[in-house]
Amino acid sequence: MSECCSPSSSRSGPSGIAMPTRSGDHLVPQVTVPAQTFAMGDAFGDGVRPDGETPVHPVRISSFAIDSTAVTVADFRSFVADSGYRTEAEAFGWSAVFHSALSEGAEIVGSMAGTPWWLGVSGADWAHPGGPSSTALDDHPVVHVSWNDAQAYCTWAGRRLPTEAEWECAARAGHASRRYPWGDELPSPEWPCNIWQGTFPTDNTADDGWVTTAPARSYAPNDYGLYQPIGNVWEWCADWFSPTYYSMSPVDNPPGPSLGAARVIRGGSYLCHDSYCNRYRNAARSSNTPDSSTGNTGFRTASL
């Protein structure tokens, strides 16, 4: 996949580390999404065909609870300390770091095909997001976690990843056809989310106050109480990805395709910019292989 915000690490094979058993305390505050029918998909024509954001179609969702924020570094640290889990980035020995986020002395082991601003960095992982000499901040979303890692956390915490339909329903917060959680326009300079400002990928003016991740509880929440469903970090969803799924999706609680090569990610990240990666929208979707990890992908969980 050649896309600015979610490069595939193209690594083969799982880490081989056993999944933890359920035993942990998931402390992220919850919000309740009421049962409803909503129009899912891109009503503005913003998306590109390979993303499969159309057709707009009715989806009926049962009520569920979802994390108000992405899982933070502190939350993930508790999971690792309690379970002994080792992430896939740690097992593989490297992860994908954006070129301007490299820590001092970081060892580059490769670059991503089609996206040279993404670098494979030895020792980059959830605790060291820019490389071995960097330190993750506890109140920021955890990154450098693969879909498999997110699943391991969910198993430990007695949670699950939201489906793609649940994620979009929660992001829209009961408002039909909005482009963003707050409305249809992106005001400036009062940035309501953490995205790229400047000229991608070389000049980030950081007008929103952040060069990489912002604390998970930043900016105003949407009307359901979700913080930063768009911008900041991409979020893993439960579903396999298919660009044609919307044309055959069931109305009731769609689970996504039964098979696939990549898992859905939603919400965009601090690297999204209109000039290249216009995916910080409610309807925007992308994907990555389930063993891939990057410096701009995290997750939030939903109730079982």
Give the pLDDT score at 18: 67
Domain assignment of residue 113, yes or no = yes
Domain assignment of residue 62, yes or no = yes
Question: Looking at the 3D structure of the chain, how many domains does it have?
Answer: 1
User: Which residue matches tokens 């898992």?
Assistant: 263
Give the pLDDT score at 10: 44
Residues 202 and 182 sit within 8 Å (Cβ to Cβ) = no
Domain assignment of residue 156, yes or no = yes
Domain with residue 188: its CATH number is 3.90.1580.10
CA distances from 54 to 13, 48, 51, 120, 201 (A): 32, 9, 9, 33, 28
Residues 58 and 253 sit within 8 Å (Cβ to Cβ) = no
Domain assignment of residue 264, yes or no = yes
Give the pLDDT score at 20: 81
CB contact set of 200 (below 8 Å; sequence gap of 6+): 4, 271, 273, 275, 276, 277
Domain assignment of residue 22, yes or no = no
Give the pLDDT score at 29: 97
Domain assignment of residue 67, yes or no = yes
Domain assignment of residue 21, yes or no = no
Domain assignment of residue 50, yes or no = yes
Local mean pLDDT, 10-residue blocks, the chain (304 residues): 50 58 90 98 95 98 98 98 96 97 95 91 98 98 98 97 98 95 85 92 91 96 97 98 98 98 98 90 98 98 96
CA distances from 303 to 7, 60, 105, 300 (A): 29, 17, 41, 11
User: Which residue matches tokens 């799982």?
Assistant: 14
Give the pLDDT score at 15: 55
Amino acid at 280: Y
CA 147/CA 113 separation, integer angstroms: 21
CA 261/CA 156 separation, integer angstroms: 25
Amino acid at 112: M
CA distances from 265 to 5, 21, 202, 242 (A): 10, 25, 24, 12
Range of the domain at 50: 33-298
